[in-house]
A = this chain, B = another copy of it.
Amino acid sequence: MNNLDQLADNKLTEYVGKAPIGDTIGLVIANVDQQILDNLHLDKKYHSLGILGARTGAGPHIMAADTAVKATNTEVVDIELPRDTKGGGGHGSLIIFGGDDVSDVRQAVSIALEDVKRTFGDVYSTDAGHLEFQYTARASQAVHKAFGAPLGKAYGLVCGTPAAIGVVMADVAVKTAAVEVLSVASPAHGTSVSNEAMVHITGDSGAVRQAVISAREVGKVLLGNLSGTEPKNEFPSYI
- Listed in ascending order, the chain A residues whose CB lies under 8 Å from chain B are 3-4, 7-8, 10, 12, 14-15, 18, 23, 25-27, 29, 32-33, 35-36, 38-41, 49, 51-55, 80-84, 86-89, 92, 94, 96, 128-129, 161-165, 167-168, 170-171, 174-175, 180-181, 183-184, 186-189, 191-197, 199, 218, 221-222, 224-226, 228-230
Structural contact, B82 and A193, CB atoms closer than 8 A: yes
6 additional A-B residue pairs with CB within 8 Å, beyond A39-B184, A94-B187: A10-B224, A27-B164, A51-B164, A54-B162, A82-B191, A82-B193
Identity of the chain B residue whose Cβ is nearest the Cβ of A7 in the assembled complex? B224
Copies in the complex: 3
Known: A162-B54, A221-B12. A4 touches B230 (CB 8 A): yes
Identity of the chain B residue whose Cβ is nearest the Cβ of A88 in the assembled complex? B86
Closest 9 CB pairs of A and B: A53-B164, A82-B187, A82-B195, A39-B184, A87-B87, A53-B162, A7-B224, A80-B188, A80-B187
Name the distance in Å between A45's Cβ and chain B's nearest Cβ.
14
Structural contact, B222 and A14, CB atoms closer than 8 A: yes
Contact of A23 among B51, B162, B194 (CB under 8 A): B162
Name the distance in Å between A18's Cβ and chain B's nearest Cβ.
5
Known: A162-B92, A187-B81. A193 touches B195 (CB 8 A): no
Structural contact, B80 and A171, CB atoms closer than 8 A: no
Contact of A192 among B4, B15, B187 (CB under 8 A): B187
Name the distance in Å between A29's Cβ and chain B's nearest Cβ.
5
User: What B residues does A129 contact at CB under 8 A?
Assistant: 23, 55
Q: List 9 A-B contacts (CB under 8 A).
A: A4-B224, A23-B129, A23-B162, A25-B226, A27-B164, A41-B189, A53-B163, A53-B164, A86-B89
Structural contact, B184 and A36, CB atoms closer than 8 A: yes
User: What B residues does A14 contact at CB under 8 A?
Assistant: 168, 218, 222
